[in-house]
Amino acid sequence: MRRTARALALIGGVFGLLLAGDTAAQAPAKKFIVGFVYVGPKDDYGYNYEHDRGRKAVEAKLGSVEVLTAENIPETAEAERVMEQMIQKGAKLLFPTSYGYLDPAINVGKRHPDVVLMHAGGFKHSANVGTYWGYIYNPMYLAGLAAGKVTKTNTIGFVAAHPIPQTLQNINALTYGARSVNPKIQTRVIYTGEWCNPGKAAEAANALIDLGADVLSQHQDCPRPVVETAAKRNVFSVGYHSADLQKFNAKGWITGAAWNWGPLYVRIVQDVVEGKADRWVNTHTRGGLESGYVALAPFGTAVPRAVQEAVLARRKEIVDGKYVVFQGPMKDNKGTVLLKEGEKPSFDFIEKMSWYTEGVVGDVPR
């Protein structure tokens, strides 16, 4: 009887180990959690819309990743609270995608050294915080080449949110490009003081048209209202953030600057999952047209074929490294020489831009 009991116990133990092993084999692998924080709605056809398209690319390419998102999060302590919530849910990589999220990201990073934070467009980093950005002013410059040839009034209207360096880069690049083919160009700027306020953006667009602008562009997170206003007033549009805006002013569409975050987001997430976060943290990652982070939107029917060909030829020169946007000679709109003949802009020249180039009317708000 003792032998029988021992045998049964042994068989039971072996069966238990086999069952446990089978259960472990069937248990789903724990997913790596990534969080995306947006300052506006995902469906704004602009800044947040394109970051969210990048998030969708991560989900499509990396099945082992679980993604958390939060939209309409203000650039206040609320951003820190949302990131902390994501970390409590297991997030090990966060993408705080708005300019005003930089200090909250740095603060969260100090409290959670095991979490990686990648901030969009920031000017400082730390041991576990990196920044990334695309030099979208490159396609804005190219759009300026086309706009300078298409305009009839020689006036460009620009609806801006805040006078931060990234906004000034785009105002200046568009103007710089347009004036290189049409020195009569003037750019007028109206600031809304908000990243996304459709009513204010449409009001500013109408005011600029009343001042003589027949080309409208912008640096707004939600660009659709400006493009739709241009369509209603029968003026041209230079798009920003997304090429999908073309459908809102098909007749007056010139071209525009668009983001392409998907490939970069996939690379960052994959590297962090594989323990290679050091490639991204404590550094600034930047790229222009050659990187694929940004793109020139398709041309509209308003742009003559010869102008399209000239713009694409200059685009190739930029990608090939034969031409650099903002290379000298260059002056601000007060006549001060910023870059001498043949001089190329430095990292700080671009990242700390605080002035208007020749052709932009008025002073930068302080």
Q: Which of 207, 221, 215 is nearest to 234 (CA)?
A: 215
**Phi and psi at residue 327, to the nearest 5°:** -70, 150
CA dihedral sign of residues 90, 286, 297, 209: positive
pLDDT greater than 60 at residue 21: no
Q: Is 301 helix (H, G, I), strand (E, B) or coil?
A: coil
pLDDT greater than 80 at residue 220: yes
Q: Is 330 helix (H, G, I), strand (E, B) or coil?
A: strand
Q: Do domains 32-134+261-291 and 137-259+294-351 have the same CATH topology?
A: yes
Half-sphere exposure of 7 (CA within 13 A, CB side): 4
Report pLDDT digits (tens) over 90-134: 999 999 999 999 999 999 999 999 999 999 999 999 999 999 999
CA 245 – CA 177 distance, rounded (Å): 21
Token couple for 143? 């759009």
20-29, 55-64, 166-175, 209-218 — which is least confidently predicted? Answer: 20-29
CATH architecture type of domain 137-259+294-351: 3-Layer(aba) Sandwich (3.40)
Question: Any idea which residue has 């099945």 for tokens?
Answer: 63
Q: Is 322 helix (H, G, I), strand (E, B) or coil?
A: coil
CA angle, 339 then 343 then 348, to 5°:
70
Q: Which of 96, 86, 100, 88 is nearest to 128 (CA)?
A: 96
Q: Is residue 27 very low, low, confident or very high in pLDDT (cuts 50, 70, 90)? A: low
pLDDT greater than 50 at residue 40: yes
**Peptide bond between residue 329 and the one before it cis (omega within 30 degrees of 0):** yes
pLDDT greater than 70 at residue 10: no
pLDDT greater than 80 at residue 26: no
- Greater confidence (23 vs 202) lies with 202
Of the chain, the percentage scoring pLDDT greater than 90 comes to 92
pLDDT greater than 50 at residue 201: yes
Compute the chain's Rg from CA coordinates.
25
Bridge partners (DSSP) of residue 87 are: none
CA dihedral sign of residues 23, 25, 26, 28: positive
Question: What is the predicted pLDDT for the residue at 2?
Answer: 43
pTM score: 0.89
Question: Any idea which residue has 């021992």 for tokens?
Answer: 6
Answer whether CATH 3.40.50.2300 is correct for domain 32-134+261-291: yes
Report pLDDT digits (tens) over 142-165: 999 999 999 999 999 999 999 999
Please, which residues have CB within 8 angstroms of residue 190's CB and are 6 or more apart in sequence? 157, 158, 159, 160, 204, 207, 208
Question: Domain map of the chain by residue range?
Answer: 32-134+261-291, 137-259+294-351
CA 97 to chain centre: 8
Q: Tell me 131's DSSP state.
A: E
